[in-house]
Amino acid sequence: MSRVHDALRRADTTLPGGQPATDHAAAGRPVTSAAPELRDLLEKIQSVPFTPSPDASLLDTARPSEAPAEEFRSLRTRLNHLQSLQPIHSVVITSASPAEGKSFTAANLALAQSQLEGSMVLLADFDFRRPVVHTLFQVPRSPGITDFLQGKASLDEIIKRVEGTNLCIMPAGEAVLNPLELLNLPEAKSLIDRLPAVFNWVILDTPPLLFAADANLLSTLCHGLILVVRIGTTTIDSVTRAMGSLCQNNILGIVVNGAHRGELYSKYTYYHSYYYSKAE
């Protein structure tokens, strides 16, 4: 596990890819100038109501004091601090194996980021093999990213804005037989490069590292990667092999999922109950 700690330590002093963190002026804003076709993108895209699936376990904005919401706000704070030091705007969320909580983490991190005023966030479902973002938010799967990459849909047709939020969703699109070949197209790199001109954070949900090469490829196109592990499920061996499979070490950190509501959450609830009773 020493590689994990080395990656986290280097994240404080270097850019993903090993470059020194000297471009402070670029941090906290889009990394490229908006092309003409992107300037009016937010005005063209369709809005959809926020009607998450009942079993999606998404953050409830009406109950901000719940412990899970606070955990994602803490993750948001850490990432925004990194962004203030380094030009980080696109992040891959992945795991070593399936069922470890990567989609859950990607969706809730996107929701937490979008709650900040003036922070436009895009949640993009690049898991073409088993996409779930459209299910979590109960929006159509297609048109989506695969349709755009095949020239069947325009960019404004595949992005949906969640009403009343700064969150936009880009579903996976129609099922394809060759996901990795699509991701190798120049259009895929161009798309990921252009999106930070509009969105302060572009969060990609991708397949697990040990079951497909998609996340590895996407991590080379993005500014950083977050690895999700699940307590009681993820093994040290799988984490080591997943990290060893990466073409470049641009890991920003590790998210631990699946913790039980133990003493920490009990104290957290006690603290907030006391705070709000005093405020009243």
Q: How far apart are CA 34 and CA 196, in angstroms?
A: 9
pLDDT for position 23? 36
CA nearest neighbour of 230 among 42, 32, 109, 97: 97
pLDDT for position 164? 87
Mean pLDDT of the chain: 82
User: One digit per residue, pLDDT tens: the chain, 280 residues?
Assistant: 444 444 444 444 444 444 433 333 333 444 444 555 676 888 899 999 999 998 888 887 666 556 578 889 999 999 999 999 999 999 999 999 999 999 999 999 999 999 998 889 999 999 999 999 999 999 999 999 999 999 999 999 999 999 989 999 999 999 999 999 999 999 999 999 999 999 999 999 999 999 999 999 999 999 999 999 999 899 999 999 999 999 878 999 999 988 765 544 544 444 444 444 444 3
At 178-204, the pLDDT tens digits run: 999 999 999 999 999 999 999 999 999
CA nearest neighbour of 154 among 31, 48, 40, 49: 40
Q: Which amino acid is at 257?
A: N
Structural tokens at position 258: 């699946």
Q: How many CB atoms lie within 10 A of CB 116?
A: 15
DSSP string, 103-156: HHHHHHHHHHHHTSTT--EEEEE---SS--HHHHHT--S-SSHHHHHTTSS-HH
Length of the chain as a residue count: 280
CA nearest neighbour of 143 among 121, 122, 125: 125
Q: Which domains does the chain have, with CATH numbers?
A: 89-258 (3.40.50.300)
Strands (E), the chain: 46-48, 90-95, 121-125, 160-162, 167-170, 201-205, 224-230, 251-257
> Position of tokens 């471009």?
23
pLDDT for position 34? 56
* Residue 221 Cα to chain centre, angstroms: 14
pLDDT for position 154? 95
**Interacting residues of 264 by C-beta distance below 8 A, sequence separation 6+:** none
Provide the Cα torsion 262, 133, 162, 121; round to 10°: 80
Torsion over CA: 8, 112, 261, 52 (sign): negative
**SS3 of the chain: helix, strand, coil, percent, to 5:** 40, 15, 45
State the burial class of residue 240 (Cβ atoms within 10 Å of its Cβ: 0-12, 13-18, 19+): middle
Query: What residues does 48 pair with on adjacent strands?
Result: 162
Model pTM? 0.81
